[in-house]
Structure 1
Amino acid sequence: MSASRSDLVIVVDLLVDDAMLADFMPLMEANAAASLADEPGCRRFDICVDAQNPSQILLYEIYDDAAAFDAHLASAHYLAFDKATRHMLKSKAVRRLELKSD
């Protein structure tokens, strides 16, 4: 698949409270699945877990453009996920990147 100029990559670094990890992961997986199923502008949503520290999670998401990501942030499933998991996180950092084609 070739990337267009407007392809937006979102990388999110999460550090989950160790005591909350078992509760967090099913919610994270449901949010990713809903994003892919219900958001036409969400093309990829990977959950990557650090092999040495399972509480360190990296999300790799690709959206058609900034408007598609804004729609994700406004979606009912994301808002519910954010509210349910906010207290489970020790830290969260979000980066917006532009996907370059080969």
Structure 2
Amino acid sequence: MSKGNVVLVVNCRIKPGKVEELMAALKENAEAARTTEPGCLQFDVLVDPEDPTRIMYYEVYRDQAAIEAHAQTEHHKKWYTVGPPMLDVRERSDFIRVAP
């Protein structure tokens, strides 16, 4: 397989009563990653229009080293401390982007 960017796809279910708090923390992490990390090429946060507790976020990094650098940032450490405890479900899948 050819080399490409590393993509993380995370599907989540937010605990009842935690939607606003979780989304604020996730958006803060995404914005910081996009604006301060040269290796973060994309970080999208999506919400199910029928069910605001069902979300997905999609991150694209230049390479594995960029993901490792992301994991060491203060904004990611903050997210990882406050975010996952507000989730009922968190399923992460890793991919290699081969196109475009």
TM-score, normalised with respect to structure 1: 0.90
Question: Which amino acid is 1:52 matched to?
Answer: E
Q: Which runs of 4+ in 1 moved over 6 A?
A: none
Give me the whole-angstrom Cα distance separating, in 2, the residues matched to 1:76 and 1:96.
22
More strand by share: 2
Corresponding residue for 1:5?
3
- Given candidates 14, 17, 20, the residue that maps to 1:16 is 14
Give me the whole-angstrom Cα distance separating, in 2, the residues matched to 1:15 and 1:85.
11
Corresponding residue for 2:29?
31
Question: Which amino acid is 2:81 matched to?
Answer: K
- Given candidates 30, 45, 66, the residue that maps to 1:47 is 45
Total equivalences in the alignment: 99
Give me the whole-angstrom Cα distance separating, in 2, the residues matched to 1:98 and 1:85.
25
Give me the whole-angstrom Cα distance separating, in 1, the residues matched to 2:67 and 2:45.
17
TM-score, normalised with respect to structure 2: 0.92
Give me the whole-angstrom Cα distance separating, in 1, the residues matched to 2:79 and 2:39.
19
> Gaps spanning 5+ residues in structure 1: where?
none
More helix by share: 1
> Gaps spanning 5+ residues in structure 2: where?
none
Aligned-pair Cα RMSD in Å:
1.3
- Given candidates 72, 76, 84, the residue that maps to 1:74 is 72
